[in-house]
């Protein structure tokens, strides 16, 4: 057993136990509590992609631009060929490049969300349909949903893409179908946050969303939802620090689908690039709170934890008794 020094509160064994408890239990709990407190003390503001009055403004604006495609072997053998970027508007081997339209209100789907048509961006190299399993895909998001400046702290990112073309009616739905994929967001080429979604994660289930519509059905849905940690929020702020307005941001969403069971997270296209392919619709919203309140709470928690760490360290030294005596005289 460690020997207790004269004037100290405890020996080095107790110090080690306290230090482990501080690092493993207390520090993560306080950090989580501080973030939740920051969220609850400031009124959140949500911005959609695009930011517009009402879900269906009169003049559609572009919502996304396909920016990345790294073709990796999909592992399906003869079942599916490999994919290549394809623009159905120009019939060229390129990313879709026209102004993507907004989902029309008469479609009857969720009227409270703004959806962007992402086209059918790929076609098969060969005669069989192609799959984007194991391919890395990236889209650039227009910056209407993103804020810049020191007064904004991003707290939540919520993106969803849906295959409206592939409904599964209730009687045929298997709610245990899932997808496994990695996704991440970059700002001006810098990684800021992301997640690895695996089986049994809440976001892994692809056939549990009922978006409405004229026929009751589930639609294959992939979720990119993330509550930002302190480190995530700091990376976002640093990556966007030099942008004077949102147009100076290059915000890209990337994902890589590894497969799953039932409805995958991949995109299926055929050799003709026609309308039998998967069609994607994307929704994005971003939540912010005031950075001043956020910073005050986070920095205050950091100072308190720093002082506590110092007290724990002093408790194992001869400085403890003089400190305790001095504090008792105050």
Render pLDDT for 127-153 as a digit per residue (tens, 0 to 9): 788 888 999 998 888 776 777 666 778
User: What pLDDT does 97 receive?
Assistant: 59
| Distance of alpha carbon 247 from alpha carbon 139, whole angstroms | 16
DSSP-based helix, strand, coil % in the chain, nearest 5: 25, 30, 45
> Tokens for 317?
């030294």
User: What pLDDT does 255 receive?
Assistant: 94
| Distance of alpha carbon 111 from alpha carbon 56, whole angstroms | 9
User: What pLDDT does 328 receive?
Assistant: 66
| Distance of alpha carbon 64 from alpha carbon 76, whole angstroms | 29
Residue 289 near residue 298 (C-beta atoms within 8 A): no
Report the DSSP beta bridge partners of residue 174.
none
How many Cα neighbours within 13 Å face the side chain of 87? 15
Using alpha carbons only, how large is the chain's radius of gyration in Å? 26
User: What pLDDT does 186 receive?
Assistant: 93
| Distance of alpha carbon 209 from alpha carbon 221, whole angstroms | 7
Which uninterrupted H or E stretch holds 180?
strand 178-187
Which uninterrupted H or E stretch holds 27?
helix 27-41
Instruction: Kindly report the pTM of this predicted structure.
Output: 0.73
Residue 291 near residue 38 (C-beta atoms within 8 A): no
If phi > 0 it is left, if psi is from -120 to 50 it is alpha, else beta; for residue 234 that is alpha
Q: Which residues of the chain have pLDDT under 70?
A: 1-10, 15, 22, 28-30, 32, 34-41, 49-64, 88-89, 97-114, 119, 144, 148-150, 165-166, 169-171, 210-216, 243-248, 262-263, 271-277, 291-296, 298-299, 327-330
Residue labelled with tokens 């799959």 = 131
206's CB contacts (< 8 A; 6+ apart) are 177, 178, 179, 220, 221, 222, 260, 262, 263, 264, 265
User: What pLDDT does 3 receive?
Assistant: 66
């Amino acid at each position: 057993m460690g020997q207790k020094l004269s004037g100290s509160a405890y020996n080095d064994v107790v110090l080690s136990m306290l230090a482990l408890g501080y690092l493993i239990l207390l520090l993560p709990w306080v950090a989580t509590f501080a973030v939740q407190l920051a969220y609850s003390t400031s009124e959140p503001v949500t911005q959609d992609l695009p930011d517009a009055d009402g879900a269906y403004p009169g003049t559609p604006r572009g919502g996304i631009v396909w920016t990345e495609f790294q073709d990796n072997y999909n592992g399906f053998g003869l079942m599916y060929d490999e994919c290549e970027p394809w623009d159905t508007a120009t019939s060229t081997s390129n990313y879709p490049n026209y102004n993507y339209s907004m989902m029309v209100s008469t479609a009857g789907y969720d009227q409270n969300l703004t959806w962007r048509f992402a086209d059918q961006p790929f076609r098969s190299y060969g005669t069989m349909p192609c799959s984007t399993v194991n391919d890395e895909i990236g889209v650039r998001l227009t910056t209407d949903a993103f804020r810049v400046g020191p007064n904004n702290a991003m707290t939540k990112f919520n993106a969803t893409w849906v295959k409206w073309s592939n409904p599964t009616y209730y009687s045929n739905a298997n709610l245990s179908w899932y997808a496994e994929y990695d996704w991440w967001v970059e700002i001006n080429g810098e990684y800021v946050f992301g997640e690895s979604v695996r089986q049994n994660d809440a976001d892994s289930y692809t056939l549990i969303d009922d978006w409405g519509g004229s026929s009751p059905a589930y639609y294959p849905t992939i979720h990119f939802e993330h509550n930002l940690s302190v480190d995530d929020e700091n990376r976002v702020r640093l990556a966007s620090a030099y942008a004077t307005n949102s147009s100076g941001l290059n915000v890209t969403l990337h994902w890589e689908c590894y497969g799953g069971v039932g409805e995958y997270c991949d995109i299926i296209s055929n050799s003709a690039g026609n309308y039998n392919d998967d069609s994607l619709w994307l929704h994005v919203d971003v939540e912010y709170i005031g950075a001043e309140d956020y910073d005050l709470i986070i920095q205050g928690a950091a100072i308190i934890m720093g002082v506590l760490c110092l007290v724990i360290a002093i408790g194992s030294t001869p400085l403890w008794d003089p400190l305790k005596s001095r504090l008792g005289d105050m």
